[in-house]
Structure 1
Amino acid sequence: MGSTTTNETNSLIASDRVEGTTVRRPNGDGIGRIERLMIEKTSGQVVYAVMSFGGFLGIGEGYYTIPWSTLRFSPELDAYVLDITEEQLRSAPQASPEGSDPSYDRQWEEHVHRYFNATPYWSI
């Protein structure tokens, strides 16, 4: 996907430019990439990023649903930043091995938000 800053305004970005973007730790180490965005139907708000992590050439990759509020964009790194250790990420709630969407029922969403210590989007 390349640079996320090219041909974008200061505050808006096309969703297809976010998908494929690298996710890094605050120190700049790459930890994964955004595979897809999950959008709340009624509000249109982006609420999750599904991130791939690990594996080699797609083999053994894990898919993790990350609350959007836990990511921040770093222009310096041209990447989204997630402050999490590798161990914390490996223990995080996973999407299915194929990366397809989990059920996203309220109980599962509450579990994800608790794990990442994030305020649920429906209570903001």
Structure 2
Amino acid sequence: MDTTQTMNRDETQDMISSEKVDGTAVYGRDGERIGSVHHLMIGKRDGKVRHAIVSYGGFLGLGEDYFPLPWNELTYDEGRGGYVVNRDAEHLRGGPRYQRDQEPTWDRSYDDRITGYYGTR
């Protein structure tokens, strides 16, 4: 299968396969690369992407921190080939985060903590 066919199947103007989002770079408003999308959290019932989990730091997956960002905080920038957040890295580091072996319970209270921090209720 040629690349054009794969592109057409995995990406349109309005949609993109989650496989293509994982690993995409995330930049702060200052242009600094903050990290990359590790995975997405999707609502089971409504099918909407709620959060992008951005990985930051570490080496080969060790010591990485994961920062859940409300999905509507990210804007895709074709020029950079990644997502831009209208925040700086310092603001991100001050927000909710967890390490690989300490994933939070994804309940209403944790969701409120994330959206409250970013002011996106």
Relative to the length of structure 2, the TM-score reads 0.84
Q: How does 1:1-124 map to 2 (within 5 A)?
A: 7=7, 8-95=11-98, 97-98=99-100, 101-119=103-121
Q: Distance in 2 between matches of 1:10 and 1:101?
A: 33
Per the TM alignment, residue 100 of structure 1 is displaced from its structure 2 partner at its CA by 6.4
Contact 1:38–1:47 (Cα < 8 Å) also in 2: yes
Per the TM alignment, residue 12 of structure 1 is displaced from its structure 2 partner at its CA by 1.1
Q: Which residue of 2 aligns with 1:3?
A: none
What amino acid is the match of 2:47?
G
**5+ long unaligned stretches in structure 2:** 1-5
What amino acid is the match of 2:45?
T
Q: More helix per residue: 1 or 2?
A: 2
> Over aligned residues, Cα RMSD in angstroms?
1.7
Q: Say which SS state the counterpart of residue 83 (structure 2) adopts.
A: strand
Per the TM alignment, residue 35 of structure 1 is displaced from its structure 2 partner at its CA by 0.5
Contact 2:76–2:84 (Cα < 8 Å) also in 1: yes
Q: Distance in 2 between matches of 1:79 and 1:26?
A: 12
Per the TM alignment, residue 26 of structure 1 is displaced from its structure 2 partner at its CA by 2.9
Change (3 A) 1:13 1:49: same
**5+ long unaligned stretches in structure 1:** 1-5, 120-124
